[in-house]
């Protein structure tokens, strides 16, 4: 029947006002008034009221949902590529005997370090095995090797990262990196 909601008579709305209706005790206790706001959105907030506009959420659940939204993840800054100061190709060997290095530290075969004849101590060098594409960045902490055709003497850990220690010597590409 026109003008009724749930069997209860409803007063027609005048322009600019919202329609109201009498609510039964059952619906009032449930918080549902059954009336529609001026814009047509259903008021389900009971005695708390609604602004009557679509998209306006005055319920506690809506506030909690907005508060519990996780902040958007911030992308990690892109890793800067190290600038290459010089590069070359030569033979590399490895050593694993404990000894003092030219930098004054005790040699550690498990560290990613290397010896070079002339690069400043503390320099970073990327060593690449061209046969398998594996690479490792080492820190120069010693002098050597003093065998012809070789420019790097890698620690056992650095050598095994890019190749097989059973080979003993391999041809590598190297890139001296800016610090």
Assess whether the previous peptide bond of 145 is cis (omega < 30° from 0).
Answer: yes
Whole-angstrom Cα distance, residue 144 to residue 150? 9
6 in Cβ contact with 28 (< 8 Å): no
Confidence of residue 35 (pLDDT cuts 50, 70, 90): very low
Tokens 């319920």 correspond to 59
Output 32 or 164, whichever has higher pLDDT. Answer: 164
DSSP H helices in the chain: 25-30, 60-67, 156-162
Q: Give 54-80 pLDDT, tens digit per residue.
A: 444 455 555 555 555 655 555 655 556
């Amino acid at each position: 029947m026109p003008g009724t909601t749930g069997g209860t008579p409803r007063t027609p709305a005048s322009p600019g006002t919202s329609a109201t209706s009498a609510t039964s005790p059952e619906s009032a206790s449930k918080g549902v008034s059954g009336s529609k706001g001026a814009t047509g959105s259903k008021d389900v907030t009971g005695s708390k009221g609604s602004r009557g506009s679509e998209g306006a959420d005055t319920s506690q659940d809506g506030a909690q949902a907005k508060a519990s939204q996780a902040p958007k993840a911030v992308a990690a800054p892109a890793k800067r590529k190290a600038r290459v100061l010089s590069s070359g190709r030569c033979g590399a060997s490895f050593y694993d005997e404990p000894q003092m290095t030219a930098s004054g530290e005790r040699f550690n075969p498990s560290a990613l370090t290397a010896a070079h004849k002339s690069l400043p101590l503390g320099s970073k060098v990327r060593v690449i095995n061209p046969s398998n594409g594996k690479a490792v960045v080492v820190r120069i902490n010693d002098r050597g090797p003093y065998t012809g055709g070789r420019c790097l003497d890698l620690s056992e850990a650095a050598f095994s990262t890019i190749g097989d220690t059973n080979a003993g010597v391999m041809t590598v590409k190297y890139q001296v990196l800016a610090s």
